[in-house]
Amino acid sequence: MEGGLVLLGGGGGGNGGSSSGVSTNESAVLSKVEVVSEAESELELGLGLSLGGGGCSTGKTKASNSSWGECGRILTAKDFPSSVVSQRTNNGGPSSVAVSGTKRSAESVSHDSGSPTAVSQVVGWPPIRAYRVNSLVNQAKAQRGDEEDKPKDDLKKKHNYNGKQISSTVNEKGHLGFVKVNMDGIPIGRKVNLNSHSSYESLAQELEDMFLRSANSVEKEPSTMASKLLDGSSEFVLTYEDKEGDWMLVGDVPWRMFVSSVRRLRIMRTSEANGLGMYK
């Protein structure tokens, strides 16, 4: 279980004497990470637990203001701001590992990244009831009317209503932001908020986190299932039931069109998904 990974923020933490805490966390975390560390070099897991220890409380830099929010999520290479990288390596650990409780979207972390289109993907945040979210979405659509000829490049659309700029996630009339998701072999279904996603990738990522991490055996390599839901190379494929009741493969149509017609999702075994469409 010793994967040669060193936890950062050694020694002290906000509450002192946490060295034992750190080491137990270490072993906990190592057991999860060992299979991943070699496989996905670009996949780095933020150290959630060390925040109780040294990481954020002692080394407060500007980056650390948001670091708790970004720790405990799965980072990918593309969103790793260099300031955060240097903070981590400065603390003496080559990499750090972790418990990811909730995940943030890549873009929302780097505040100066200049991409305002991203939305938060933290489950249950901001704390708004689903019916409110759904109502906002439905109303935005109703007000827009059938303005199908609006430019379709951006998923976060701004439009004028009574002279006011209102942003709304594009979502057709009557569609609820939350849809049910079921996975073959798992009796309990989940719900996912389509409004908080702007692409198939981010949706697939959330679904993978929801379902594939709940696989019974922890030894299962999450990385082999990562992002494979969309390209047909894993054991499961992502399908959806559309407004007409047909089951389709997710990913074939533009995102916006998908969002407007999806009724519910199903993570289906690849073997059962024959005849649903082309595999890439």
Partner 1 sequence: MHKKMAFSFPDEVLEHVFSFIQSDKDRNSVSMVCKSWYEIERYCRRKVFVGNCYAVSPRMVIRRFPEFRSIELKGKPHFADFNLVPDGWGGYVFPWIAEMAGALPWLEEIKLKRMVVTDESLELIAKSFKNFKVLVLSSCEGFSTDGLAAIAATCKNLKELDLRDCEGDDLGWHWLSYFPDTYTSLVSLNISCLGSDEVSFSALERLVGRCTNLRTLRLNRAVPLDKIANILRHAPQLVEFGTGSYTADLRPDIYSDLAGAFSSCKELKSLSGFWDVVPAYLPAIYPVCSKLTSLNLSYATLQSSDLIKLVSHCPNLQRLLVLDYIEDSGLEALASICNDLQELRVFPSDPFGVEPNVSLTEQGLVAVSSGCPKLQSVLYFCRQMSNEALVTIAKNRPNFTRFRLCIIEPTTADYLTLEPLDVGFGAIVQYCKDLQRLSLSGLLTDRVFEYIGTYAKKLEMLSIAFAGDGDLGLHHVLSGCESLRKLEIRDCPFGDKALLANAEKLETMRSLWMSSCAVSFGACKLLGQKMPRLNVEVIDERGPPDSRPESCPVDKLYIYRTLVGPRFDMPPFVWTMEDDPSLQQLSRANLM
Name the token pair of 112: 């100066």
**Cβ distance to partner 1 smaller for residue 26 or 273:** 26
**Do the beta carbons of residue 29 and residue 99 sit within 8 Å?**
yes
Out of 6, 136, 248, 276, which residue is the one contacting partner 1 (CB under 8 A)?
A: 136
Stretch 73-112 residues interacting with partner 1 (CB under 8 A): 99, 101-102, 107-108
Tokens 């702007």 found at: 198
Shortest separation between residue 274's beta carbon and partner 1, angstroms: 29
How many Å apart are CA 129 and CA 213, to the nearest integer?
25
**Cβ distance to partner 1 smaller for residue 41 or 139:** 139
**Cβ distance to partner 1 smaller for residue 174 or 252:** 174
Kindly state whether residue 168 participates in binding partner 1, applying the rule CB under 8 A.
Answer: yes
Shortest separation between residue 210's beta carbon and partner 1, angstroms: 8
Kindly state whether residue 124 participates in binding partner 1, applying the rule CB under 8 A.
Answer: yes
**Widest pairwise Cα distance in the chain:** 63
Out of 19, 65, 90, 271, which residue is the one contacting partner 1 (CB under 8 A)?
A: 65
How many Å apart are CA 67 and CA 72, to the nearest integer?
9
Calculate ∠ Cα 166-171-177, nearest 5°.
100
Q: Mask: binding to partner 1, 36-55, rule CB under 8 A, as x and -?
A: ------------xx-xxx--
Give the three-class secondary structure for 127: coil
Kindly state whether residue 8 participates in binding partner 1, applying the rule CB under 8 A.
Answer: no
Kindly state whether residue 142 participates in binding partner 1, applying the rule CB under 8 A.
Answer: yes
Size of interface with partner 1, in residues (CB under 8 A): 81
Give the three-class secondary structure for 241: strand
CA atoms within 13 A on the CB side of 137: 24
Closest CA to 47 of 86, 92, 9: 9
Kindly state whether residue 151 participates in binding partner 1, applying the rule CB under 8 A.
Answer: no
CA atoms within 13 A on the CB side of 122: 18
Out of 59, 69, 232, 277, which residue is the one contacting partner 1 (CB under 8 A)?
A: 69
Name the token pair of 153: 């490049």
Kindly state whether residue 57 participates in binding partner 1, applying the rule CB under 8 A.
Answer: yes
Stretch 221-280 residues interacting with partner 1 (CB under 8 A): none
Stretch of 83-91, 145-153, 160-168, 271-279 lying at the interface with partner 1 (CB under 8 A)? 160-168
Closest CA to 140 of 259, 220, 13, 37: 259
Kindly state whether residue 21 participates in binding partner 1, applying the rule CB under 8 A.
Answer: yes
Shortest separation between residue 44's beta carbon and partner 1, angstroms: 18
